[in-house]
A and B are shown apart, each in its own frame.
Chain A
Amino acid sequence: MTSDTRTSLQEQGPYFGAYGGRYVPESLIAALDELTEAWEAAKADPAFHAELDALHRDYTGRPSIITEVPRFAEHAGGARIILKREDLNHTGSHKINNVLGQALLTKRIGKKRVIAETGAGQHGVATATAAALFGLDCVVYMGEVDTERQALNVARMRLLGAEVVPVTAGSRTLKDAINEAMRDWVTNVDTTNYVFGTVAGPHPFPAMVRDLQRIIGDEAREQVLALTGALPTAVAACVGGGSNAMGIFTAFIDDPDVALYGFEAAGDGAETPRNAATITKGRPGVLHGARSYMLQDEDGQTLESHSISAGLDYPGVGPEHAWLADLGRAQYRPITDTEAMTALRLLARTEGIIPAIESAHALAGALELGRELGPDSVILVNLSGRGDKDMSTAGAWFDLIDADADQV
C-alpha cells in the first residue's frame, strides 16, 4: 500500500489496504450484494443526486455554515479556529446526511422497514426522522446504558413513531446494539434494510457512508477557501465509528499539506482500561463485519469501551481510518472525558455554542493542535452535533442542576 503510485487515496472498498471486507454470516451476503449494486446504480443516477440534493437543501438546511470562533481560539495559542456547523442540521448532527441517502436507497430497493443501531441516539433520531418522512417502519436498537444517558433522544425517536429496543446484552452500549441490529437483519432481510450509522461494518457500508458524508468536507473546503483564501493547516474531527471524520477528511485527503487529525475518546485516560481510544490502544482484528483496529483481549474477545460520550463509546473503528492511520495520512489522538467536557464548557462560554460531547472531543483536540501549530495555523473543526441531548450528562458533570428542583 505504501508503494502505491496512485495520486489519489480515494478507495471504493471492500478493502482499504489490509482492512475492511465482509466478515458476516452467509445469510447476509445477498443483502450486502443488493445494497452494493443499488448504491453503485444510485451513484451513477443523476435523478438520485437531484433528489438527495433537494432533501439536503429543503429539509436538512444545507449547506451548513462555517463559523470562525476567535474567543475560543484565544485558548488555542492564537491559531484560527473555524467550525463546520453540522450541529445546525435538522435533527442536530451530521448523521442525517447519511440517513437521507440510505433512506432513498431503501425506497429504490423496495423495502418497507428500516432498522438502525444508535449510541448517542443521533443516528437513531435521524433514521426515525427519515422513516417518518418516507413512511417506513423503523426499529432502533440502543444499548440500555445509552437509553439512560440519552433519554431525551429515546423520547424523540418514539415521538417520531419508531420503536426503540433497549439492548441488555454484553456492555449494553453501541457495540451490542450493532449485534442486535445484525441479528434482526439476518432474520428479516427480505423486508428490511439496515441503515448503518457510521463508516464501520461490512462492505459496502464504510465506502457508502463515507460517500454520503463527504458533503461535509466538500462544502467546508470551498467555504474555508472563500473565507481565508487558502486551505486549512489542519482538519480535526472526533472519531467513534468515524463517519463525521471521514466526511470531513475525504475532501482533503489528496491535499498533502492539510494535516488530518482524528480524536478518539480516552475516557478516564488512554493509560487506563476505561477508554474508547481504538486506534491508539487497539490492534487489528475483526469486529462487526470488517477487519480494522479494535479493543480486544489476547483471545480476541472484544473489550468494553468507556467514554462519557455515548456516540464515541465503541471498541471498533471504520476500516478506512485504520488504513489512513497505518499510512500516516491521518493521525489519531486520545482525548479524555475531562478534556472534552472542559472544551465543551469553553465553547459554550466563549462563543455561545453548546456542542455535543462527541464533538467536544474534536474541540479539545483543536485546542491542543493550536498550541502546537502556532498562531499562523488555521484549524477546521467538524462540529458534528449539538449538545441538547447531553444536558443531563453535562448537568451532572458541572453540577448545574439544583438538587431540590422539582422533577418535571
Chain B
Amino acid sequence: MTDTATSSVEKAIADRRAAGSGALVGYLPVGFPDLGTSIDAAVALVENGVDVLELGLPYSDPVMDGPVIQAATQQAISNGFRLRHGFEAVREVRARVDAPVLLMTYWNPVLQYGVDRFADDLAEAGGAGLITPDLIPDEADLWLAASDRAGLDRVFLAAPSSSDDRLRHAVEISRGFVYAVSTMGITGARSDVDKAARLLVDRLRGVGAESVCVGIGISTAEQVTEILGYADGAIVGSALVNALAQGGVSAAAELAARLAEGTRAASRRPDAGPSAL
C-alpha cells in the first residue's frame, strides 16, 4: 500500500487493531431519507462506536447494490439528491465528529463532475478518499493521479474470484484499506458470511496487505467479531440502512452500538488480530 502515513483511515484502523480488536466501518447513503437526517444518522453512528464512515453517493444504476440500498438511493435521487450534497455531508459530519469519512461512489458521477475537481472538493470538505465499486485498477489512471495529488485514500475491491496478480495490484495501489468482498454477490444482509472471506483475507495478506476490511452481507455483532478474528475491519451497510429506514436515527444508532460490541468481543479473543496469522 502506498503512503500509509498520510491516511487517516489507515490510522483509525491501525489504532483499533493495536488496541486488540479491529475497526467497524459503517455505510449510509447521503440524502436518505433526506440530507439532514442522513447527516444526523452518520454522526450518530460515530457516536455509537463506528470508527470509519463510508457515505454512499446515490446513483441511478447501482449494479453492486441489493434491494435495500437500491431503494434508499433511489428515494434520495427522487428527493433531489445532487453531488454537491455529498461534499456538504462530508463537511458537516467532519465538523461534528472525529472519524475519517470516505465516499463510496460509482465512477460516472466522478467522471462527469471532473476527476480532479472531485478530488479537490472532497479534500477541501475534509473527506478521506473514495471507495469505487465499479472502477477496477486497470481503468483507474485518472483517479490514481488525482488522489495522489490531493492526498486522498483510494479503496479498491478484491474479490474471491480475483487472481493473485490482481490482488497484488489492488493491494499495491489501494490506500486506507483494501475492500475484501466477502462473497460473490451484491450488497445485502446474509445469515452467514462466506468462508470465502477468510480465504480471501489470507490471500491478501500473502501479497502484502496490511489493512483489509471485509464487507458485503455483514449485519450482526457476531459476524463482526468473527471477521475481526482475521481482518482489520468489518464493513456494515444494508443492515444500517435498513435500521434507518425502519426506525430512524435512533434505530441506526442502536444497531451501531450493538455492532460495536462485536468489536469489543473481538478484542477479548486470544487469537484476535493479524499477529495470530
Binding site for B on A (CB under 8 A): 21-27, 29-31, 33, 169-170, 175-176, 179, 182-183, 186-190, 285-289, 296, 298-302
Report whether B136 and A24 are in contact in the complex, using a CB–CB cutoff of 8 Å.
yes
Report whether A287 and B107 are in contact in the complex, using a CB–CB cutoff of 8 Å.
no
- Cα A35 to Cα B111 in complex, Å, equals 28
Report whether A187 and B74 are in contact in the complex, using a CB–CB cutoff of 8 Å.
no
Report whether A29 and B109 are in contact in the complex, using a CB–CB cutoff of 8 Å.
no
Q: Across the interface, name the chain A residue whose C-beta is closest to B64.
A: A25
Chain B proximity of A382: nearest CB distance (Å): 29
What are the residues of chain B within 8 A of A190 when measuring CB–CB? 184
Report whether A26 and B157 are in contact in the complex, using a CB–CB cutoff of 8 Å.
yes
Within 8 A of A (CB), among B74-112: 74, 77, 82-83, 107-112
**Stretch among B2-10, B46-54, B160-168 lining the A interface:** B160-168
- Cα A77 to Cα B239 in complex, Å, equals 64
What are the residues of chain B within 8 A of A29 when measuring CB–CB? 136, 159, 161-162, 166
Report whether A186 and B112 are in contact in the complex, using a CB–CB cutoff of 8 Å.
no
Q: Across the interface, name the chain A residue whose C-beta is closest to B58.
A: A301
Binding site for A on B (CB under 8 A): 59-64, 66, 70, 74, 77, 82-83, 107-113, 133-136, 138-139, 156-163, 166, 170, 181, 184-186
26 A–B contact pairs at CB < 8 A? A22-B139, A23-B134, A24-B63, A24-B136, A25-B134, A25-B157, A25-B159, A26-B159, A26-B170, A27-B161, A27-B184, A27-B185, A29-B166, A30-B162, A31-B161, A169-B74, A179-B63, A186-B184, A187-B185, A187-B186, A189-B161, A296-B112, A299-B113, A300-B59, A300-B110, A300-B113
What are the residues of chain A within 8 A of B64 when measuring CB–CB? 25, 183, 186
Pick the contact of B61 from A21, A25, A287 — CB < 8 Å?
A287
Report whether A285 and B108 are in contact in the complex, using a CB–CB cutoff of 8 Å.
yes
Pick the contact of A24 from B66, B77, B134, B162 — CB < 8 Å?
B134
Chain A proximity of B41: nearest CB distance (Å): 22
Report whether B63 and A183 are in contact in the complex, using a CB–CB cutoff of 8 Å.
yes
What are the residues of chain A within 8 A of B107 when measuring CB–CB? 23, 286
Report whether A26 and B74 are in contact in the complex, using a CB–CB cutoff of 8 Å.
no
Report whether A26 and B136 are in contact in the complex, using a CB–CB cutoff of 8 Å.
yes
- Cα A188 to Cα B83 in complex, Å, equals 32
Q: Across the interface, name the chain A residue whose C-beta is closest to B71.
A: A169
**Known A-B contacts A23-B134, A186-B185, A187-B185; A300 and B112 likewise in contact (beta carbons under 8 Å):** yes
Q: Across the interface, name the chain A residue whose C-beta is closest to B187.
A: A183
What are the residues of chain A within 8 A of B159 when measuring CB–CB? 25-27, 29-30
Chain A proximity of B27: nearest CB distance (Å): 16
What are the residues of chain B within 8 A of A286 when measuring CB–CB? 107-108, 111, 134
- Cα A176 to Cα B135 in complex, Å, equals 20
- Cα A179 to Cα B73 in complex, Å, equals 15
Closest 6 CB pairs of A and B: A300-B112, A30-B161, A27-B159, A300-B109, A300-B108, A187-B185
Chain B proximity of A17: nearest CB distance (Å): 15
Chain B proximity of A247: nearest CB distance (Å): 26
- Cα A24 to Cα B161 in complex, Å, equals 14
- Cα A183 to Cα B186 in complex, Å, equals 6
